[in-house]
């Protein structure tokens, strides 16, 4: 009877752990910026699941330790050795198989999200050296086949500026995306590695000079966001941000028509900071790259093509 009550208590505690862990996992959604893409939803689902698993493990371990301290304390002045534990094959199999299955499932989910982003051009980076015959065969099997997208936007990045070219050769220093439509971003870097990072998109992709890297994103939330450079690309890289607008398709087309009739203008904050006098008592002689003035995407594309 006592043994049955112990099992019943353990089962009840596990049930409470499952409920509490699930609740903590649901709270994890509020720890991240607002979801703005279909891909972000999948990333947050995976993050919530990992938080739930972590909460279940830590609360379970703490509960076992508290239970042991309360009910299995040695009597006062009892310094004798405890009974030696013996291995249990079933327990060994359980705690080996469970983490293995869990890790494989997490890896599969991560790979699935990565595939949905449809990132192309990374194979060129992997095969910078002279490929072997087996590598050539592998590269042929996983050749870059782009998935269909409603829009294609060229992204050009350099020190210290983002610029974008839209259909009909509309150019801008702001990124505009139609909501609920798959958009392909064809990204080019001019001189050093930059990082395309929008926190609400759960998307961070390195842009390597000499490589045309494509990725597909599906915005689902209308709003204004910030595009940042996630790679340290020099002194003023923290100022390399620009606005991202996700808007309805009719408003997106309206902006395209308006932008086609207006010249592209932008204030480069890096240039402003560089030209201002030093605000410190002592002026250092550290070398830094002077930020280049803003250029049109056409001019940047010519330089990128020349460097490639």
pLDDT of residue 140: 37
The closest of 74, 51, 85, 64 to 14, measured between CA atoms, is 64
Give how far Cα 90 sits from Cα of 14, 96, 101, 115, Å. Answer: 19, 10, 16, 37
For 165, the enclosing helix (H) or strand (E) is strand 161-165
In 122-268, where do the E strands start and end?
Answer: 151-158, 161-165, 171-172, 175-178, 183-189, 194-198, 203-207, 213-217, 223-229, 241-247
What are the pLDDT digits (tens) for 162-211? 999 998 888 888 999 999 999 999 999 988 899 999 999 988 889 999 88
Cα–chain center distance at 34: 14
Given 1.10.150.120, 2.40.100.10, 2.60.40.420, 2.40.30.110, which CATH number is that of 142-277+289-307? Answer: 2.60.40.420
Which residues in the chain come in under a pLDDT of 50?
124-143
User: SS in 3 state form for 214-244?
Assistant: EEEECECCCEEEEEEECCCCCCCHHHCEEEE
The 10 Å Cβ neighbour count of residue 123 is 14
pTM score over 0.85:
no
| CB environment 269-287: b (16+ within 10 A), e (fewer) | ebbeebeeeeeeeeeeeee
* Token pair recorded at residue 141: 């099997």
3-state DSSP assignment of residue 88: coil
pLDDT of residue 125: 42
What is the DSSP-derived secondary structure letter of residue 210?
T
pLDDT of residue 50: 92
pLDDT of residue 190: 85
> What stretch(es) of the chain map to CATH 2.60.40.420?
142-277+289-307
Q: CB of 168 within 8 A of CB of 261?
A: no
């Amino acid at each position: 009877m006592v043994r049955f009550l112990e099992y019943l208590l353990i089962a009840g505690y596990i049930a409470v752990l499952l409920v509490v862990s699930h609740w903590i996992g649901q709270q994890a959604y509020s720890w991240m910026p607002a979801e703005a893409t279909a891909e972000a939803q999948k990333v947050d689902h995976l993050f919530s699941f990992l938080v739930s698993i972590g909460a279940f493990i830590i609360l379970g371990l703490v509960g076992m330790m508290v239970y042991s301290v309360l009910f299995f304390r040695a009597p006062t002045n009892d310094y004798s050795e405890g009974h030696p534990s013996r291995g249990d094959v079933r327990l060994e199999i359980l705690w080996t198989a469970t983490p293995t299955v869990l890790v494989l499932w997490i890896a599969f989910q991560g790979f699935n999200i990565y595939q949905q982003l449809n990132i192309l051009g990374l194979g060129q980076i992997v095969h910078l050296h002279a490929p072997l015959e087996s590598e050539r065969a592998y590269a042929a099997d996983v050749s870059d086949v782009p998935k269909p997208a409603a829009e294609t936007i060229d992204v050009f990045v350099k020190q210290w500026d983002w610029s974008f070219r839209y259909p009909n050769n509309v150019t801008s220093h702001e990124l505009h995306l139609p909501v609920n439509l798959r958009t392909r971003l064809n990204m080019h870097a001019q001189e050093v590695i930059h990082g395309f990072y929008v926190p609400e998109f759960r998307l961070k992709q390195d842009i390597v000079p000499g490589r045309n890297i494509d990725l597909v994103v599906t915005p689902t939330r209308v709003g204004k966001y910030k595009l940042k450079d996630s790679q340290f690309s020099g002194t003023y890289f923290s100022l390399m941000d620009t606005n991202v607008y996700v808007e309805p398709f009719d408003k997106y087309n309206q902006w395209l028509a308006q932008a086609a009739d207006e010249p592209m203008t932008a204030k480069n904050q890096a240039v402003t900071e560089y030209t201002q006098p030093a605000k410190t008592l002592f002026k250092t002689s550290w070398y830094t790259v002077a930020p280049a003035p803003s250029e049109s995407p056409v001019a940047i594309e010519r330089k990128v093509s020349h460097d490639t």
